[in-house]
């Protein structure tokens, strides 16, 4: 596994103000998740059911929550992450939290 530099996420400005994007786009999110969790995502990984991702298990889900909290600087609603069926749904959850 290669060493990567994580891209810090700049928190959004106060509500109602124009501020920087609060979270990564989907492609950057998938790269970050793959790098941090040591997984190799192929085509279609974004919308595939989590249980069908090669090497995916419940520990990866917990590590993903920690990663998202670290990158966003915010608490993540774990119950909603557990309900998500794909990485795209988790990414949308992060956008909703912005």
pTM reported for the whole predicted model: 0.74
Report d(CA 76, CA 29) in Å as an integer.
Answer: 15
The domain total for the chain is: 1
Output the pLDDT for position 46.
95
73 is in which domain, residue-wise? 26-97
Q: How far apart, in Å, are the Cα atoms of 44 and each of 18, 30, 48, 78?
A: 33, 11, 6, 24
* Domain presence at residue 67: yes
**Nearest CA among 82, 17, 58, 98 for reference residue 90:** 82
- Angle CA 75–81–84, to nearest 5: 155
CATH of the domain at 88: 1.10.1200.10
* Domain presence at residue 11: no
3-state secondary structure of 53: coil
3-state secondary structure of 15: coil
* Domain presence at residue 62: yes
**Residues in Cβ contact with 76 at an 8 Å cutoff, skipping those fewer than 6 apart:** 65, 68, 69, 93, 94, 97
Output the pLDDT for position 20.
36
The pLDDT averaged over each successive group of 10 residues in the chain (98 residues) is 43 37 80 92 92 92 93 89 94 84
Tokens of 74: 């915010």
* Domain presence at residue 42: yes
* Domain presence at residue 8: no
Output the pLDDT for position 22.
55
């Amino acid at each position: 596994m290669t060493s990567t530099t994580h891209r810090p996420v700049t928190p959004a400005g106060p509500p109602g103000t124009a501020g920087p994007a609060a979270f990564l786009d989907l492609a950057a999110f998938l790269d970050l998740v793959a790098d941090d969790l040591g997984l190799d995502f192929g085509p279609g990984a974004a919308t595939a059911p989590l249980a069908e991702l090669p090497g995916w298990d419940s520990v990866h889900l917990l590590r993903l929550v920690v990663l998202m909290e670290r990158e966003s600087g915010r608490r993540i609603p774990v119950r909603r992450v557990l309900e998500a069926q794909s990485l795209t749904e988790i990414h949308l959850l992060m956008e909703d939290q912005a």
